[in-house]
Amino acid sequence: MRIVLVGPPGAGKGTQAAYLAKNLAIPHISTGDLFRANISQGTELGLRAKGYMDAGQLVPDEVTIGMARDRMNQPDAENGFLLDGFPRNVAQAEALDEALQTDGVKLDAVLDLEVPEDEVVKRIAGRRICRNDSSHVFHVTYSRPKQDGVCDVCGGELYQRDDDSEDTVRKRLEVYHTQTEPIIDYYKAQGLVVTISALGKVAEVTGRAMDALERSS
């Protein structure tokens, strides 16, 4: 299957993408990984992207789409892929459709992870990260440390990142509603959108998504 994963920040897209890609035996393609791989390998697209990033500018859509297209044409993506974090706006969605059409393939589904805005704020603003090791993550509601402000693993100080503050989260949501959410209507017009609730345990959401994708295929 060829799938685009969409949803607001805090919906659990990265987590679900990893599980779904494994269950469906297709590669998980995230924009972050694309940029890192192309820059580290020194590809032409990677060098172009790095130039824009070093100058503090946004990477043009054509560069991002070029990276995505190259990745989607690799052998392990022959039977499908799961795009996470791309497209981010309608212009990118249109460009992606054009690229796929040129390559003789098309999307099978757009999986929309739906989460109430208050829950998004609660999920992100409640995160606490260990200063000694950022992989040690806790939550003031869902995964409380044994001692407030202290990492259970190494005893390091737990803190809230600046971009996890409620004000910042709400600004990120505004950007999502303005720029990314319109792609849902764009894909609905093509009959591709499958919407599920992203509330509940990770395994429950994965099962819900797999059932929905199976029904849509």
Of the candidates 53, 59, 122, the one whose C-alpha atom is nearest the C-alpha of residue 88 is: 59
> Count of CB atoms within 10 A of residue 123's CB?
20
The sheet carrying 137-139 orders its strands as 137-139, 127-130, 158-159
Of the candidates 103, 111, 125, the one whose C-alpha atom is nearest the C-alpha of residue 173 is: 125
Tell me the Ramachandran region of residue 155: left when phi exceeds 0, alpha when psi lies from -120 to 50, beta otherwise. left
CA 182 to chain centre: 16
**Catalytic residue positions, numbered:** 13, 88, 127, 161, 172
> Is 85:31 a contact under the CB 8 Å cutoff?
yes
Residue 194 C-beta-side C-alpha neighbours within 13 Å: 18
CA distance 189 to 157: 49
